[in-house]
Structure 1
Amino acid sequence: MSYKQLDVKKTYLVTGAAGFIGYYLSQKLLDQGCRVIGIDNVNEYYDVKLKLERLNRLESHGNFTFIKGDISDKETITNLFKEYSPDIVVNLAAQAGVRYSIENPDAYIQSNIIGFYNILEACRHYPVDHLLYASSSSVYGANKKVPFEETDFVDQPVSLYASTKKSNELMAHTYSHLYKIPSTGLRFFTVYGPMGRPDMAYFGFTDKYFNGDEIKIFNNGDFDNDLYRDFTYVDDIVEGIELLLSNPFKDEGEVPHKVYNIGNSNPEKLMIFIGTLEKCLSNSLGKSIEFKKKFEPIMPGDVPATYASTALLEKAVGFKPKTSIEEGLQNFTDWYCEYYNKK
């Protein structure tokens, strides 16, 4: 099967460009000579310095244009599409985090629902070749059948974050049906790596080690029935996105909308992941370290397992993530120790 190569002559709009995945994708597109328009509100959900560091690196490219703005502001989005006429849109801007959605639900409705609606409306009035948007493995809720497949029932989300992501899939399908917008949703499975999100567990555990604090592990201390997570390295995510950008789903008579899992398809027990993180941090520091651990009950909104079937993605673009947690976490701890001057 042949796939179209990335078209470097097109203009790519990346929302959430100062975010973790948005930064890496923008960098990859710019390295290949693409023109990238990035938008981000640079909010304070986590350390703004990290977001500004990512932006500084992107702005060293002549082909990068940054707009500080919020996708929930319809006028900002309309004017952006009017001025720059993007050919391909990658919507990665969203309020992330399962647990934070319990504390601050307004942020999720504003960004994930209203913001995404504004993107869809802009794609309707200023037609694009392809809209690719971020969904999440959270949509699978407490499904017990594994691996998760895109055809599984996903109408019982267990967090507001998951509800907004499922809503995005429904909205995109409707707009694709009504206005023939080629669109692709990607259900990300626990993305990690250097310059990642500090609110993610692996990053927070590392912070706590250097602060001399204990880490809280929300698995009831039940090692026989530990939580499983399908950890996916950021470079694998970006490679998958890149392959899909020029290859939207097309099937005569079908709605031009498709949803794919993108995960490592090799879930790890949480305690194995933590043990690997300790080992990698030991390597980075040149000495043996161990986290102080405190075991807590599973948090509301957490799910027992995430496990991606990636057969559909493989069939569509011949891609399957391949980075092991040993390699990925070593890259992360090496970066962390250098960035925060811990060596």
Structure 2
Amino acid sequence: MIHLTKIVAAILVLLAIALGGYAWVLSRQPAKAPPVATAPAAAASSTARVPTFAVVVAAKPVAAGQAIPADAVRVAQLPINPAGAFTETAAVVGRVPVFDIGEGTPLLEGQLASGLAMRVEEGERAVAVKADEVMGVGNKVQPGDFVDVFVMLKSDGKDIDRTQARLLLSRKRVLAFGTASLDGLPSRNPEGRSNPQQQQQQQRAEAARTAVLAVPVAEINRLTLGESAGRLLLALRNPLDTALPDPALLAELPPALQPPAPRRGEPARAPLEGLDSAQAGLTAVDLATGGGAAARRLVADARASAAAAAPRPATAAAAAPRAGMEVEMIRGDRSETIRY
């Protein structure tokens, strides 16, 4: 019994010595630094970071009605991405703003000119004329087609002495016909894909009432006079057919307003063209007769015949014979008889 007690005491002593040595070893090691709380800092930095978007902005003020030059726009990183914004400068260079845009302002689709006006070439104007099924080739005319415009003028005893039909304008581009237009967006099916055939059927469901043509500004007077004095007819032509009538075969129609004559020593004035020709205008008589002196004389004779055939009141002054001579004076599209 005494021997067992000594053995247990010896084991406890050895265990105490071992624990003391382990404690001494631990005391000799350097103390470790406390762990750094990096996770909260990283979370805070990610929260402070704001996403940016590439947006085209004005690098300098841009005036309305003028094409945007390449040096007037740049791409900036903005914290907002407005609806209708652009990401590349090539998409806005050459386009025309509808109002002034200040420096640093994002360029949006709604700020730039669009629609049918952008389909009109320089020197042309979009002109609408009345249309129906017969005039529009049975409603087969579509935007983008090329047509010849014929006119039928009926004799009225005033400006038109004989009923005539002739080619008025040749190879004019159709910008719109009825509800169909070159700037119209294609209709979409439920899957979101374009369906041109369905679009054409929807556009032709309504009867066309107008046709919009791209006409050179100098020829608009012909079109407006032809529509007011007669009936227009569109003739559909193949777009590959580029034949045009020879303008040298017929004399140019004189303008309704004559420019002032050049002063002595000044060179002769060049024929009016473009906007100047449109400003000078055109008379219905010249459109119907070709503007020649002989043609004007035929119109004057037709007027005189119509006036002679018209019934006159049986008054004493009218019934009394008139002595003397008569001279007829023609001034433009007016005829006047002077008696003396």
Per the TM superposition, whether the score is higher than 0.5 is no
Structure whose residues are more often helix by fraction: 1
- Normalised to the residue count of structure 2, the TM-score between the two structures is 0.21
- Normalised to the residue count of structure 1, the TM-score between the two structures is 0.21
Structure whose residues are more often strand by fraction: 2
- Structure number with larger C-alpha Rg: 2
Higher relative contact order (CA 8 A, sep 6+): 1
